[in-house]
Chain A
Amino acid sequence: MARKTAFLGLVLMLLLGSCKAPAYLPESEDIGTHAFGSYITIDLNEGKDLEGELISIDEEALLVLPQQGDLKIQSVPTENIKSFTLMYAQPKNYGWSIPVSVLITASHGVFAVFTAPINIVVTSVVTSRGQKAFTYRDQDISMEELKMFARFPQGLPPQIEVVDLK
């Protein structure tokens, strides 16, 4: 029982710990002074899913600047978007609380049978909610509201060449 519980805790910690946010995002207390766009993950109807900094939104497309690899700025037609998730600040990581709380229940003797599952459930939910604390999904926010989280909420200025953006 104790081994199964510890194993489950470890798996949950690894799973939840794997949801890492990009380093350029600000801490939640600094979102008002952050000059870049928020981080968007787009699930497309066709083609490979895309993620990166939200640059701008106009009537027909979103501009996204991928943060990893050598990908150039991408234009995504709004009609090709199946769903999206927007992250605007660094999530708080409570993954540590899962193994710690499971270990603590070792001091509960036979009552660990009850306290260990409670601890796993509660700390897993706390960790999961912490990961999603500073995100919006497409159900939460309209395309018009989404503009506010772009680097250029006014739209891409006409004098800027897309290729010059970084």
Chain B
Amino acid sequence: MKKTRSYQSFIFIVFLLGIITCTPKPYFFRNNYKSANSLLHETKNLQEDIFLKAHLKNGEVYILKDSWEVDTTENKLLGIGISFDYNRNKISEGAQSISLDSVAIFETNKKLGKTESKRIRALAILAGVDVAMGGICLINPKACFGSCPTFYMNEEDDFHFADAEGFSNAIAPSMEYFDIDALNNPPVMDNIFTLTMKNEALETHMVKNIKILAFPRDKDQRIYQSPDNKFFRCENHYFLTGAKGANEDLTDLLKLQDRQERFSLSDPQNLSSKEEIFLTFDNITDPKDLGLLISFRQTLMTTYFIYSAMGYMGDEVGDIFAKLETSSETKKKLENGIRKELGKIDIYVLDETTQKWIFQGGFYETGPIAFNRQILLLNVSAENTSLQLKVVLNKGLWRIDDFALTNIRESEKAIEILPYEVLNDGLTDAVAIAEINADDEYLISMPGSEYKFNFRLPSKGGDYELFLYSKGYYLEWMRENWIKDKDLLKLRQMIENPKRYLRMEAESFKEYERTMERQFWDSRIDTKNFSYYGT
């Protein structure tokens, strides 16, 4: 069952509610006494300030505020206060002298102390957390605001369960590209398939095309996508039998596609430091045409770089983006500089004969939100029933859910399906459907927008493996507080000398990583099982 809040959030709420609800009711602030004798005996040890009311037999009342005393000789109650008639109209004010015989009931009242303290404390704690959170986002807006369009098979899901995120690298019109993401969908029960696209960030999303790539599949088959967007029909699933990092056994973390991810923190000296993970697969019953499966996504490191770059541009962001649009060289440097330095998730296979690691290829997808499920074709001997692999990756950049092997049976071509309907706020949007299906128009999605795309699959009753094709770009909204971060020299360093930039920026990123990474992912919900095939 899907949890809607993290454990920590729940504990926090319980803690605050505990404070609030533990407020005792002030039951004992009022007492009545039928005689002066009992009044004197039962109030003499009280430390609190006591207000005394004398309710007379005729319905009048005397309220003595500051001091009072019982004169037993004169049989009178003396004090300073006010008297009222039975309709509570004021009769007199000042020094009062009341015959004890005329009093029906004496009433004492203690001052209610700190009745609101618990509630105020709870609100103060909440305000403190809110202000701290807002402060962190103000200092590090890179961490708090999402990126690129997010797609959901279940429209009620939030970004923690996004099924895909589109064109994360396309931060300018000239950087527009298409992106294909595996939806890892459950068996299709109907021929209508719905996908919801949300804009959950302070960005303008310019969406050129959305379509579904469908592949008919049998019960024991899956279709996987390679990093170069080829598709392969696969059978069998081999779980890894061992995984080791520098000083840790990662087998349990990396064995299952269960959202229990393996990640590391960045190197405090250099953000482009690499690390290695060693994988072992045993009992491969069919060693022919093996492919390595991986589920992965990024940490917030690249988001940090994108927002940092915009901060460095300051009030010249418009000019620089204009230059980006007209200079292919600058664009190329921006696209390849840091990205090249950070590298991919590189895969090597151990050649048993030469004992050398043979490079096989790498995985790369920008974006910290949706998991990417991809396959890499391995060039290995078709006789080995066990296999050893080495994974080389940038420290602090990747979150890996699992590794597995599968047998590739054949290459596949997709059935491309365009949406036949777009719903905007529950209503059919004829303009949107025309825009999204035209090659020269854009569907413009603003912050908070939600569009529901309906696709008609080729046949009812057949099952399909589905992938999302999205093409477009997005424009990040400049935040006022970024302008003060303007640093064109640093921007230049980032573009021209990313190696040096990644060393120099390590300390600043570490600060950010310590706070926001933990908060972002500690709040994730890890119980939703999205693997529908027992992998």
Show the binding face of A for B, using Cβ within 8 Å. Answer: 1-3, 28-29, 31-33, 35-36, 89, 92, 94, 97, 101, 104-105, 107-111, 113-115, 117-119, 121-123, 125-126, 129-130, 133-134, 136, 140, 147-149, 151-154, 156-157, 159-160, 164-166
B88 interface residue (CB < 8 Å to A): yes
Query: In the assembled complex, which residues on chain B have CB atoms less than 8 Å from the CB atom of A114?
Result: 5-6, 9, 523
One digit per residue, 1 when the CB lies within 8 angstroms of any chain A CB and 0 when it does not, for chain B 121-161 equals: 01100110111011001100101111000000000001110
Size bin of chain B's contact surface: 35 or more
Q: Which of A111, A153, A164 contacts B105 (CB 8 A)?
A: A153
B63 interface residue (CB < 8 Å to A): yes
Query: In the assembled complex, which residues on chain B have CB atoms less than 8 Å from the CB atom of A35?
Result: 53, 61, 63, 84, 88
| A94, B123: Cβ atoms closer than 8 Å | yes
Known A35-B63, A114-B6, A121-B13; contact A108-B134, beta-carbon cutoff 8 A: yes
Query: In the assembled complex, which residues on chain B have CB atoms less than 8 Å from the CB atom of A2?
Result: 448
B355 interface residue (CB < 8 Å to A): no
Q: Please measure, in the bound complex, the distance between the C-alpha atom of A156 and the C-alpha atom of B57, giving whole angstroms.
A: 9
Query: In the assembled complex, which residues on chain B have CB atoms less than 8 Å from the CB atom of A129?
Result: 20-21, 23, 119
Beyond known contacts A28-B112, A122-B17, A154-B105: 4 more, CB 8 A cutoff: A28-B115, A33-B65, A89-B112, A115-B129
Q: Which of B105, B111, B123 contacts A97 (CB 8 A)?
A: B123
Query: Shortest beta-carbon distance, A9 to chain B, in Å?
Result: 14
Q: Please measure, in the bound complex, the distance between the C-alpha atom of A32 and the C-alpha atom of B112, giving whole angstroms.
A: 9
Show the binding face of B for A, using Cβ within 8 Å. Answer: 4-6, 9, 12-13, 16-17, 20-21, 23, 25, 27, 29-32, 50-51, 53, 55, 57-59, 61, 63, 65, 84, 86-88, 104-105, 107, 109-112, 115-116, 119, 122-123, 126-127, 129-131, 133-134, 137-138, 141, 143-146, 158-160, 200-201, 448, 519-520, 523
Known A119-B130, A148-B107; contact A164-B87, beta-carbon cutoff 8 A: yes
| A160, B126: Cβ atoms closer than 8 Å | no
Query: In the assembled complex, which residues on chain B have CB atoms less than 8 Å from the CB atom of A156?
Result: 59
| A159, B119: Cβ atoms closer than 8 Å | no
Query: In the assembled complex, which residues on chain A have CB atoms less than 8 Å from the CB atom of B122?
Result: 122, 126
Query: In the assembled complex, which residues on chain B have CB atoms less than 8 Å from the CB atom of A123?
Result: 123, 126
Q: Please measure, in the bound complex, the distance between the C-alpha atom of A119 and the C-alpha atom of B17, giving whole angstroms.
A: 11
20 A–B contacts, CB within 8 A, in A order: A1-B158, A1-B200, A2-B448, A31-B29, A32-B53, A89-B112, A104-B130, A104-B134, A107-B138, A115-B129, A121-B17, A122-B16, A129-B20, A133-B25, A147-B32, A149-B30, A152-B86, A157-B59, A157-B104, A165-B86
Query: Shortest beta-carbon distance, B94 to chain A, in Å?
Result: 15
Q: Which of B5, B16, B111, B137 contacts A109 (CB 8 A)?
A: B137
| B25, A136: Cβ atoms closer than 8 Å | yes
| A153, B119: Cβ atoms closer than 8 Å | no
Query: In the assembled complex, which residues on chain A have CB atoms less than 8 Å from the CB atom of B107?
Result: 148, 153
Q: Please measure, in the bound complex, the distance between the C-alpha atom of A92 and the C-alpha atom of B200, giving whole angstroms.
A: 37
Question: B87, B111, B119, B127 — which one has the most chain A CB atoms within 10 A of its CB?
Answer: B119
Query: Shortest beta-carbon distance, B161 to chain A, in Å?
Result: 11
Query: Shortest beta-carbon distance, B498 to chain A, in Å?
Result: 26
Known A107-B137, A110-B200, A159-B58; contact A32-B51, beta-carbon cutoff 8 A: yes
| A109, B145: Cβ atoms closer than 8 Å | yes
Q: Which of A130, A151, A154 contacts B119 (CB 8 A)?
A: A130
Query: In the assembled complex, which residues on chain B have CB atoms less than 8 Å from the CB atom of A160?
Result: 58-59, 86
| B159, A126: Cβ atoms closer than 8 Å | no
Question: A111, A121, A123 — which one has the most chain B CB atoms within 10 A of its CB?
Answer: A111
Query: Shortest beta-carbon distance, B445 to chain A, in Å?
Result: 15
Q: Which of A31, A33, A110, A115 contacts B159 (CB 8 A)?
A: A110
Query: Shortest beta-carbon distance, B24 to chain A, in Å?
Result: 11
Question: A107, A113, A119 — which one has the most chain B CB atoms within 10 A of its CB?
Answer: A107
| A113, B158: Cβ atoms closer than 8 Å | yes
Query: Shortest beta-carbon distance, B342 to chain A, in Å?
Result: 23
| A119, B159: Cβ atoms closer than 8 Å | no
Query: Shortest beta-carbon distance, B98 to chain A, in Å?
Result: 14
Q: Name the residue of chain A whose CB is nearest to the CB of B12.
A: A118
Query: In the assembled complex, which residues on chain A have CB atoms less than 8 Å from the CB atom of B137?
Result: 107-109, 111
Query: In the assembled complex, which residues on chain A have CB atoms less than 8 Å from the CB atom of B12?
Result: 118
Query: In the assembled complex, which residues on chain A have CB atoms less than 8 Å from the CB atom of B16?
Result: 122
Q: Please measure, in the bound complex, the distance between the C-alpha atom of A135 and the C-alpha atom of B160, giving whole angstroms.
A: 43
Q: Please measure, in the bound complex, the distance between the C-alpha atom of A78 and the C-alpha atom of B340, giving whole angstroms.
A: 84
Query: In the assembled complex, which residues on chain B have CB atoms less than 8 Å from the CB atom of A36?
Result: 88
Q: Which of A3, A122, A148, A151 contacts B32 (CB 8 A)?
A: A148
Query: In the assembled complex, which residues on chain A have CB atoms less than 8 Å from the CB atom of B119?
Result: 92, 94, 126, 129-130, 133
Q: Name the residue of chain A whose CB is nearest to the CB of B23.
A: A129
Q: Please measure, in the bound complex, the distance between the C-alpha atom of A43 and the C-alpha atom of B105, giving whole angstroms.
A: 29
Query: In the assembled complex, which residues on chain B have CB atoms less than 8 Å from the CB atom of A126?
Result: 20, 119, 122-123
